[in-house]
Amino acid sequence: MTDSSQAQAVDKNVEEVGSRYFLPRNLEEAERMQNQHEWLKGGANGLILAPIDLNRSGLRVLDAATADGYWMQDVKSIFPKDAEFVGFDNASQSVPRSPEGYPPLKDSSQFQIVKQNLVEEFPAEWKDSFDLVHQRFVIPLFKTEEVPLVLRNLIRCVKPGGWIQLVEMDFQTPVSKPIESCPAVQAVHKLTSTVVSDPLASTKLAGRLNDEGLVNVGYKAIEMVAGSSNSDPELGARGKRNMLSVLGFFQSVAKPEMIGMTEEEWKTLPERFAKEMDEHHVALNVYFVWGQKPEAR
């Protein structure tokens, strides 16, 4: 494949999947997302790093791209009992819930899940309506020119004085050690950077929130360790399982020639990636980014 045709293949692939969620809506994916949730929760020592006052009554929370609502059902334990949660997702069909997951959300009056697209007009009643707006693992899939619209849609939902928290992976910056001993890790970085629209979107979010007029903007980069070098063996195993699942899905929407691999190298990539997670410090950075909407004057 020539450089020109390879570039066209990459562009076509990004156009088809880069600006939208492209993983399957099935039980296996629901279980992967729940495993990922628990890995991230353990690695970050919590789900909310934004400095919101969680002791106030009557709090309302909006969870963007909520999938099956697992984040809402878990995070409710740190909110007052009268807190209200609304989640939305653009899935044409609901995401199946794992048999080991939480009970269906419809059994609780605290929760509501509706269909909504991040780049389409939001319900008018959501404007200035939520004390916390949360969104996780979506922004890098959108085209660069779409990101301001996504953020503005979400920020409009925040009450004056309320908070937004965004959680995203850095798909490009290597933090595994020693990186020269991890060729499979480097190949995975190259693959994910090829498929997502902006592999460094997470590193730009604090600046984007500042540009949108938010105050008290902050962030924390969490090094998420996958495999045997994690000090918590359970979290390490969760991370390894999640990374291998994500690699499988990325391979399903890409081709080996897109990152200069042979068919044999492509076929053995998961095995080599797993081996490196067993033998080296394999990790990636996840950014928690937050900002506060100024109080109305």
pLDDT band at residue 32 under the 50/70/90 scheme: confident
Q: Does domain 2-293 have CATH number 3.40.50.150?
A: yes
Q: What is the model's pTM?
A: 0.88
Residue-level pLDDT at 19: 39
**Residue 175 · residue 169 · CB < 8 Å:** no
Reported as a single tens digit per residue, the pLDDT across 231-281 is 999 999 999 999 999 999 899 999 999 999 999 999 999 999 999 999 999
Contacts of residue 102, Cβ cutoff 8 Å, sequence gap at least 6: 69, 70, 73, 74
Burial 168-177 (b: 16+ CB within 10 A, else e): bbbbbeebbe
Interval 119-135 mean pLDDT? 97
Mean of per-residue pLDDT scores for the chain: 88
Tell me: the pLDDT tens digits for 48-83?
Answer: 999 999 999 999 999 999 988 899 999 999 999 999
Helix, strand and coil content of the chain, in percent to the nearest 5, comes to: 45, 20, 35
Per residue in 162-200, pLDDT tens? Answer: 999 999 999 999 999 999 999 999 999 999 999 999 999
Is a pLDDT exceeding 80 seen at residue 106?
no
Other beta carbons within 10 angstroms of residue 178's beta carbon come to 8
Q: Output the CA–CA distances (angstroms, integers) from residue 169 to 25, 155, 230, in the order listed.
A: 21, 20, 18
Cβ burial of 132 (10 Å; 0-12, 13-18, 19+) is buried
Element of type H or E holding 272: helix 263-279
> Between 296 and 135, whose confidence is greater?
135
